[in-house]
Amino acid sequence: MRKATERGIRDTGRWLWGLMLIVALSLAISAGKAVELEAFLSGDQELFDGWWVTQVDLMENTLLPVYSAPSEAAYRGAKGKAAVSLNEPFKVLCEDPDDRDWWLIYYDVSAAAARVGYVRPTEHMRSEARDVLPFGWDNVRTTVSDATVLTDDPYYSRRAIATVRYGDSVTVLCETSVNTERFAYVETITEGKRVRGFMPIVSLLTSAYTEDLSAMEALCGAWRFTGGGEVGGDGFILSPGGQMTWLVAGDGELFPPKHLQRGGANTWCVIQL
C-alpha cells in the first residue's frame, strides 16, 4: 500500500513504521495472540460498523423474550420482562456461534433507549432474514481492574444491568467503539446467572503490552490500497487516539482519498513487542 495524501510522502520513516505494523500483526497472529490484544485493526470486532447487520421488519403481532445471554436461564432485563415486538423493526447483529438457536439483536426500547440481547428466532424470522451469519467470539478471560457496570445499551441510556468489581473475572467476546469511547462486550456471572453486556475497556486488565505512540503519530493520515482483489482502490484514515475510518472507492476508482466515500469507524494501535 502507499500513503495517499495531498502532500505526498515526505519521509521514508512512515514506510518503515508501516512495515513494522504489518510485521507486528503477522507475529501476533502467528503466535495465536491476536485475540488477546485489545485492538489492532479490529474492524471485524465492531458490533455495528464491521458486522453484516440485517434489518428485519416483519409487521407481526408477536412478542419474543429477550435475554442478556443465549440461554433462557440468563439474566433478563426490564425486571425479567424484556421483550421485542416483531411488529416493530429491529436489527439482527449475528447468530451466536456456540448456540445457533439464538440471535443477537438490537432494538429500540423507547425514543431514548435501546437494548442488545438474545432471542430465539421464529421460522418466519429465519425465512425473512436468510443472510444472518454467526460471529466468532474472542473468548479472552481477563480481570476487572476498576469497578464499573455492564450495560445492554452503550449507545443511548447506558443503563446498568450488572456490577463488576475489582478482581472479578470476565470473558471478553469482542470490542466496539461509541464515538471516541471503547467498550468491551463481555460475559460474566451475576447472582448465579449468565449476563453479557458492555463495559469500558479501560476497566479491564488486558494483555501486557505498550502502545507505541510515536509510531502511531507517524502513521496518522490517509492510506490507500494499491493491490487488486476486493480492497483494490479502497483505503483508510488513521487518526490520533486509535480511531480509524475506512475509505471505500467502489469498482476500483483511483481518485484522491478526499473523494472516497467514508465507511465504518474502527480502532487501531501499534504495540511494542
- The confidence score (pLDDT) of residue 206 equals 63
Q: Which residue positions in the chain have pLDDT lower than 70?
A: 1-52, 206-210, 226-233, 249-265, 271-273
Asked if 63 and 84 touch (Cβ cutoff 8 Å), the reply is yes
Q: How far is CA 174 from CA 39, 140, 201, in A?
A: 10, 9, 10
Task: Establish if 21 belongs to a structural domain.
Answer: yes
Q: Are residues 198 and 216 in the same domain?
A: no
Q: Are residues 201 and 251 in the same domain?
A: no
Task: Establish if 110 belongs to a structural domain.
Answer: yes
Q: Are residues 121 and 160 in the same domain?
A: no
Grid look-up 507517524 returns: 218
- Tell whether pTM > 0.75: no
Boundary residue ending a domain (76, 94, 128)? 128
Boundary residue ending a domain (97, 128, 159)? 128
Cα separation, 204 vs 184, whole angstroms: 9
- The confidence score (pLDDT) of residue 50 equals 54
- The confidence score (pLDDT) of residue 20 equals 42
Q: Are residues 144 and 194 in the same domain?
A: yes
- The confidence score (pLDDT) of residue 42 equals 37
Boundary residue ending a domain (72, 99, 128)? 128
Among candidates 142, 147, 208, which has minimal Cα distance to 173? 142
Q: Are residues 144 and 174 in the same domain?
A: yes
Indicate which CATH number applies to the domain containing 73.
Answer: 2.30.30.40
- The confidence score (pLDDT) of residue 68 equals 98
Q: DSSP assignment, residue 28? A: H
> How many domains does the chain divide into?
3
- The confidence score (pLDDT) of residue 136 equals 79
User: Which domain does 73 fall in, by range?
Assistant: 54-128
Task: Establish if 184 belongs to a structural domain.
Answer: yes
Q: Are residues 199 and 226 in the same domain?
A: no
Q: Are residues 81 and 23 in the same domain?
A: no
Q: Are residues 61 and 123 in the same domain?
A: yes
Task: Establish if 46 belongs to a structural domain.
Answer: no
Task: Establish if 103 belongs to a structural domain.
Answer: yes
Which H or E run contains 27?
helix 13-30
Q: Are residues 30 and 63 in the same domain?
A: no
The dihedral through the CA atoms of 248, 251, 257, 261 has a sign that is negative
